[in-house]
Structure 1
Amino acid sequence: MEDLKSTNDEEVFDISVVNDKRLDEMYSEVLNLRQAQGIKRDVKEAYRTIPIKPSQWPGLVVRLRGEDRFAIDTRNCFGLASGAGSYGIVGDAGAQVMRANGIGPLSKWVDDHLFYRILKHHLPAYNDLRRHWAEDIRKNGGRIWFRGRAMPNGKLEEFDKDATFPLQDLSNKSARSDEDRKYTYCMADIDTLCEELGIPWEAEKDIPFQSAVPFIGFLPLGSGAG
């Protein structure tokens, strides 16, 4: 059987199609990290985690093979016009709960989550930087567009959220490796919180913490974050 390359295979992927605004948002935080590591995680069957209100079931009847055989799809589905928005409300709320519990910096695109972590000894300085970002964002009225200051190249800083929540040192929350103990949190901290929230991760797609992590077809975290 002939191997077929994915349309976003790293050898053929055209980075020009990536949303420039999303890149700016991530780089605004990444370029301020030092010796950071990232991890990419996907929510398992993300849309399917959202139940459909029973009053909407008549619109999701599926005809099966055979005479008078039908089924009702009671979960949110990818092809549903409102599917992305329905999941987005829940997905964004989940990300905010993680931020509120000190996990981050965190960026996401639909169900693809990109977590960063920093060395513990950088935590006070980085949180101080976040306080300045939060103040700048508030001054600029940030709610949908989280604008910061103008950068030397003339572009404006753009952030995923308002930087309200400080990062926390979660390294004493549970047993972990010596390497993980150097950083503010580890994958187990994400899992513990998300298990309580009911957010399932696609373990087969997990990419462990490292200095360069592919995300939606490109490498946003490289030598600049070292």
Structure 2
Amino acid sequence: MKNWHVDDVMTTSVVTVPEEAPYRAVVDLLIRHRLSAVPVVDDFQRVTGVVSEADLLRKIEYAGDEKPRLFEGRRRRGERVKADARTAADLMSVPPVTVLKGTPIPAAARLMEREGVKRLPVIDDLGRLVGIVSRGDLLKVHLRPDDDIRRDVEEGILRIYLAENVLTVKATVADGLVTLKGHVDRWSTADIAKRLTRQIAGVVDVVDELEYDYDDSNVLGTGIAYGIA
């Protein structure tokens, strides 16, 4: 069963700007490529920051407003500095929100949500840019064919974790919805199958129609007790 990472869905041809790129060059680049943000890289292709449309708009927002206001907060002062910026190095937001190559897709999705960003530069262990992944890219896992998902369930879960019951359990998949049907020895076996199936890339949900002989839920409590998150 394949574990999907950002490497599997990222774009490797990334539009970037150098730190010394002039303000107008960055504006032109975003408009020409229809982007809302662009990574800033140094001479070694290491990501040093990100310039977004919001960063660029500070020059318009504070146009003609030369004097800072009394008791102005730190965020407003930072925005005012960007209004006077002339290069990408002065405009960019730092530190950049990036993700390491090999990061699982769910972890990348949680990082995007937590940081409130729409895309993540993907870097290697040395901080060098190797790709970029967007929210739309992460959703590509849900375009996987149903047959591929079913094969993952059968080979990666049923034959490994339900080896003794593999002949009595059947998995069907329709539009990413997995139905597990059949007979197993105990509740915990059915629960493990359901939990692991839900973690397969492209699975929308799991319908549990498994029957079991012995209910050991009171003994084990939850899946955490036997190592399934």
- TM-score normalised by the shorter chain: which range applies? under 0.3
Q: Compare the two structures and name the one with the higher strand fraction.
A: 2
Higher helix share: 2
TM-score, normalised on structure 2?
Answer: 0.27
The TM-score with structure 1 as length reference comes to: 0.27
Q: Which has the higher contact order (CA 8 A, sep 6+)?
A: 1
Q: Which has the larger radius of gyration?
A: 2
